[in-house]
Structure 1
Amino acid sequence: MIMKQVDLTLPESGPYSVLADEILRVAREAERRTLGLESFGILKAYGIPVVKTVIAKTEEEAFRVAEEIGYPLVMKVVSLQISHKSDVGGIRLSLQDGGEVRAAYREMMEKVHEKRPDASLEGVQLQQMLSGGKEVIIGMIRDPTFGPMLMFGLGGVYVEILKDVQFAIAPVDEEEARGMVTGIKTYPILAGVRGAKPSDIDALVDTVLRVSRLVCDFPEIEEFEINPMMVFEEGKGALAVDMRLTLKKT
């Protein structure tokens, strides 16, 4: 596969960082250290494509949003206290119509509350149902000695089972970012094996570079994770599906 040079189109300074700073400022003023999908605007500000996502706080709102986005849909519970949504019944896939959306909302609220009565449930997130891609994870943890440590690997449940990830200290250049992507042992899955078409490696390299810039621009971000990011066939890009970040204690 021919590797293209990635053009990171972010200027040295500009409105992208201003928008991200505003989102983080609001979080700090509200004394919130952990942010989830409500901070998708940070990714958008840094030019990282995200799946169409809307948060609904009631059953009726979920129905209206679903009709606007279109079907099929994914529904996920929104709660700062719940990281692994599938463990508590907080994910429903392939919802096909408004009736399924209403039923799923009621069942999800009941089941999640039963399993996590301590958690504050803020509603649900509705997303386009994506297909045909592969899941990867792009993250960062800020080491007290080395600074922001970037991470890349296969996403979803694979990162926990296979533990096949690559690390690098940010900031990284294009060569280092590409080395992270191609350096995992399971890279052949992304490159295309047994006749499968290769994934859009350039889109992943571009995202790693943008995340590198983001976490260097904002040292108050202690941990950061896009998981999963769905990468499609070569030339068709990648979309962030879920994210989470933690701010340093003040």
Structure 2
Amino acid sequence: MKNTKNPWLKLSMLLFIWFSLNCQLSFGADTISANQSLSANQTLVSSGGNFVLGFFTPGNSSNYYIGIWFGKVSEQTPVWVANRETPVRDIDSSELKISDGNLVLFNGSQVAIWSTNISSNNSSSVVAVLEDSGNLVLRDGPNSSALLWQSLDHPTHTWLPGGRLSLNKRTNQSQLLTSWRNSEDPALGLYSLELDPAGTNSYIILWNRTRQYWTSGAWDEQSQIFNLVPEMRLNYIYNFSFYSDENESYFTYSLYNREIISRFIMDYSG
């Protein structure tokens, strides 16, 4: 039998082979499902376009990181970094995908270098979704409301609206901001912002996680400000809220105008 001369048949066969071998994301999706992966220049884009997730390289660095940045700001501005201590060099063979119920980043040698690290969940329905708030969430199914993990619980150097800076009084564990090492290296830097573990209801900046560098003063419930941050009295942009009980304390904020693009950062300068 002679080989077919039908170009459309050949094209159909090539497309079938390509789709069989490549279960990767299309550009603009906001979800990674169990049979998909993200690599190279592919990105997730939140439903309203506010945030983008993908591989990025800061400044002139030759290292690549999985991060989230603003989608409507011309200059790429990272607000969260997954593998801040373990960069990759080859993004063409590195990939972010669902594995054993976790979102996992594999380097070019297919070694897992970052994971959401939740208890083993082998459900094939687990999905990762980038929300329009900038929160990357892991759910047991696209229609599930129960969160398995969320990036807002693991901030890096940026505090987004809706996020919490908290202190678990039972475990003495903090959700804190930690600066980058420098403008081209998102690894843990010298400065951190956290709730004072001594229970003073104030925020402190620590140098090298040991020496106090700055304090906000205690929270004044009546004035709704921290005592040593009088500028908060002039606020007309942010709706701040402080909560404390026997189990935890946390500070959070929202925007009166949700169209405003805003962030708080712990800068590497301190």
TM range, smaller chain = under 0.3
Normalized per residue, the structure richer in helix is 1
What TM-score do the two structures reach when normalised by structure 1? 0.28
Normalized per residue, the structure richer in strand is 2
What TM-score do the two structures reach when normalised by structure 2? 0.26
- Greater relative contact order: 1 or 2 (C-alpha under 8 angstroms, separation 6 or more)? 1
Rg larger in structure: 2
